Structure 1
């Protein structure tokens, strides 16, 4: 952060937002105080309010950023995979994240904590899940030669399995057990 006498501090908004996301991810929204947030973001309260508005607005921006980044990363990786079967298995495994940390998916964590009583977070969560569902339906259609719309039910089932596996991993289910679960879902990927 650069500070000049008589001028407001300058900071990188994305870096500050990433720091907020990491804190919300680690502690949850309700357990994060404004002091925790401004300290993690290395911002004064006036800079925080001037740029981000509120704690809730910061969370909404972090959820949006996370969802967009993760989806773009997944799309990019899948575009590089010519084999539709491998691409589909990779997508399901990436969503399940059985071999990642036990922190879980930031968006799913926020969904579980807040969506039942926050329509805006529910909407962001639904949008992200719908994008993933459409992505999986497209991969299934590419594999089967059917229309993507015809693969919606299978895509939704695979997404439910992958998201559930992610939550199970966070709850302590071993990566090997998650791998077994995903292997059992293989018939849905044919």
Structure 2
């Protein structure tokens, strides 16, 4: 689901006490994304962030605190990027296609979606990660539903594919896009993922 900080680089170790916490967090996000939470040791984390343990604990309190901050950063940045894509599109259908395509990212490599990775690894036993992921998925689904909604008066409210169907179609589109990210992580070829995303048009323009 977009990669706003995956490749950000920060200065190396030995950063002074007044380090750039935002830059350090970007490095933590990139490491968690590559390795997962459980496979990342505290030594690896502080080395990647370029800060001492004392600075780490003063800023993030714990490894879990750093993860939550990274997840929240990812969610906010990726949602902002999605809304910008939607705003730049020529029309609502094009905006919905752009959002779905950005989430699925067929050419995004095998790291997968950071949020989906966290959900798979941690959400079943981490209520804070679960809450952040639910909030993010809900606002993306709401964005898609708004894009799929007909302007008032364009279609009868009781029509089978009228305005009331937009939330259901939005949920189906989001499920399709997230499924594509998992297939991408499994190594499915980008061409196959593009073909799968072609099915999204049936939901966007039924």
Give distance in 2, aligned partners of 1:183 and 1:3: 49
Counterpart for residue 181 of structure 2: 166
List structure 1 runs of 4+ shifted beyond 4 angstroms.
Answer: 1-4, 142-150
Q: Which runs of 5+ in 2 are unaligned?
A: 1-10, 156-161
Offset at residue 150 of structure 1 (A): 4.2
Cα distance in 2, alignment partners of residues 46 and 69 from structure 1 = 28
Q: 1:140 aligns with which of 138, 141, 148?
A: 148
Matched, 1:98 2:106: yes
Q: What is the CA distance between 1:97 and its match in structure 2?
A: 0.9
Relative to structure 1, the CA distance from residue 162 to residue 128 in structure 2 (aligned partners, 3 Å threshold; closer, same or farther) is: same
Unpaired runs of at least 5, structure 1: none
Between 111-120 and 142-151, the greater mean CA deviation after superposition: 142-151
Query: What SS class does the counterpart of residue 111 from structure 2 fall into?
Result: coil
TM-score, with structure 2 as normaliser = 0.85
Correspondence for 1:120: 128
Pairwise CA distance, 1:48: 0.4
1:56 alignment partner in structure 2: 64
Could you tell which deviates more after superposition, 137-146 or 86-95?
A: 137-146
Q: How many residues align?
A: 187
Q: Give the structure-1-normalised TM-score.
A: 0.92
User: Using the alignment, how far apart are the partners of 2:19 and 2:150 within structure 1?
Assistant: 44
Q: Does 1:111 align with 2:111?
A: no
Aligned mate of 2:55, from 39, 47, 56: 47
Per-residue displacement from partner, 1:64-113 (whole Å, max 9, x unpaired)?
Answer: 00000010011012112131111111111111111212211111111110
Q: How far has the Cα of 1:184 moved from its partner?
A: 2.0
Correspondences of 1:11-26 after superposition (within 5 Å):
11-26=19-34
